[in-house]
Structure 1
């Protein structure tokens, strides 16, 4: 895994498999999500 990807996962507190977090949507967060897109699933809560 690329070091940048690992860093983003750590910043979002996603250190274990099957963990989840709620995030506020902003431009910076969307850029981070694009960097880790192959490793996570994301969407809006319903």
Structure 2
């Protein structure tokens, strides 16, 4: 039995980041930073 190795490629695209409004400023910053990091990791996960 022969097996072949295939590299999986995924083209990811981030189109929006949603953040709740009317939060305290410090909490808004931390949530936005967290979500931006998710987006960056998704775009650069090769």
The TM-score with structure 2 as length reference comes to 0.29
Question: Counting helix residues as a fraction of each chain, which structure ranks higher?
Answer: 1
Higher relative contact order (CA 8 A, sep 6+): 2
> If you compute each CA radius of gyration, which structure gives the higher value, 1 or 2?
2
The TM-score with structure 1 as length reference comes to 0.29
